[in-house]
Each structure stands twice: as structure tokens, then as C-alpha cells.
Amino acid sequence: MVALSISHAQLLEPAVKGALNVLKSVAKVPSLKRVVLTSSIAAVIFGVKPPEFGAVVDETWFSDPETCEKQELWYVLSKTLAENAAAEFCKKNGLELVVINPGFVIGPILQPTLNFTSEGFISLIETGKEVFPDGIYRLVDVRDVANAHILAFENPEANGRYIMVADVTHSTDHEDRKPKLSCS
């Protein structure tokens, strides 16, 4: 991942406490039984050994906190710890937890400025600068992610974790697009 100029404390504590604060509020309302948590594929794929290109990743994979800490992957660690804390809280408090783990979310944006994901992907295409050191991008459309949240909430059969990736691509796959974008 791109090195962030923020400390681990600026990511870890807000992620874990933020998730737990929401869940504590949910637990106070007896009619609420299900929580749909937005996590990230970051909480899935950063194990002791990184997955190879083309590896089949499933919901049983978890990022390794110790590996994340050693490599100073604070965003990844924050997502991993927040998801783990949410799972533990829901189990102790009798809440159903459905977790959506989207990959690199791309698509239409509502705000006037680019978010980190969109900016990183556009930067890759325009400059060749990689956001991820392995050059592997696991992409999913924001509209699909939104729909998955609705389905996870409405479908009583939904449970556990759902990884959302529509396409896996390598940074070298986009080299031919650079001239087209630079000329426009």
C-alpha cells in the first residue's frame, strides 16, 4: 500500500472505537438484530504470505495483525482490528453480523473531489505509479457494493463475510491506456 503520512494511532483507535460505538448504540435497540458492516478486502488478503496473482481468496482468509504491524500497514490493520472487534461484540451481544469486504471501489462519486481509491487508480493509469506494491488491483463498482449492503440487510439468509471483487487486474494491464488518457 502507499505509505501514509499519518500515525497508526490516527487510524487504529478511530476505526475500532467507531465500529464499537455504533454497535453499542445498536445493542440498545431491542428490535435491531442485524448489522451490516463495511470492511475492506484489506482485512482479508494481507496474511503472513501475500497471495499470488490469480490466487482464489475466500471469506475464510483474514489479514494477520502482526504482519500488518511489522509492515506498518496501518489502514489494513485498522480494518482488520475493527472487523475483529465488531465480530466479537456481535457474538457477545446476540447480534447478527454481515460483513461486506469490497476490493478497490471505483465508479461514480458524489463528492466534487476524488477519493483515495479513485485518485490512486487514475494515477496508475496516467503515471504508472502503483498504489499497491504488488501491482494487483482487485476492483469493484461502488453501485455493486451499495446493492450488496441492501441485499445483506434484507436477506435473512445472508451471514458471515462477503468479498466483493468484480475484476482482478495487474498494473501492467493498464500501460496501453496511458497514452489515450494523456492526449485528451
Assign domain 8-183 one CATH number from 3.40.50.720, 3.40.50.300, 2.40.10.10, 1.10.10.10.
Answer: 3.40.50.720
> In 3-state terms, the chain is what percent helix, strand and coil (to 5)?
45, 15, 35
CA angle 134, 19, 13 (to 5 degrees): 70
Reduce the DSSP state of residue 18 to 3 states and report it.
Answer: helix
Residues written for the chain: 184
Give residue 116's pLDDT. Answer: 67
In the chain, where the domains are located: 8-183
Neighbours of 58 (CB within 10 A): 8
Neighbours of 34 (CB within 10 A): 17
| 55: phi then psi, degrees, rounded to nearest 5 | -65, 140
Cell of 19: 465500529
Sign of CA dihedral 57, 61, 121, 3: negative
Q: Which of 79, 92, 178, 180 is catalytic?
A: 79
Type and span of the H or E element at 36: strand 34-38
Provide the residue-wise pLDDT of the chain in tens; the chain has 184 residues: 444 445 667 888 899 999 999 999 999 999 999 999 999 999 998 886 766 767 788 888 889 999 988 888 888 899 999 999 999 999 999 999 999 999 988 888 888 887 766 777 677 677 766 665 566 778 899 999 999 999 999 999 999 999 999 988 776 665 555 444 444 4
Q: Active site includes 79? A: yes
Give residue 182's pLDDT. Answer: 42
The answer to whether 73 and 133 are in contact (CB under 8 A) is no
Sign of CA dihedral 121, 128, 75, 65: positive
Q: Closest Cα partner for 87 from 152, 30, 35?
A: 35
For the beta sheet containing 34-38, the strands, ordered from the edge strand earlier in sequence to the opposite edge, are 34-38, 96-102, 160-164
Reduce the DSSP state of residue 163 to 3 states and report it.
Answer: strand
The answer to whether 71 and 45 are in contact (CB under 8 A) is no
Give residue 6's pLDDT. Answer: 57
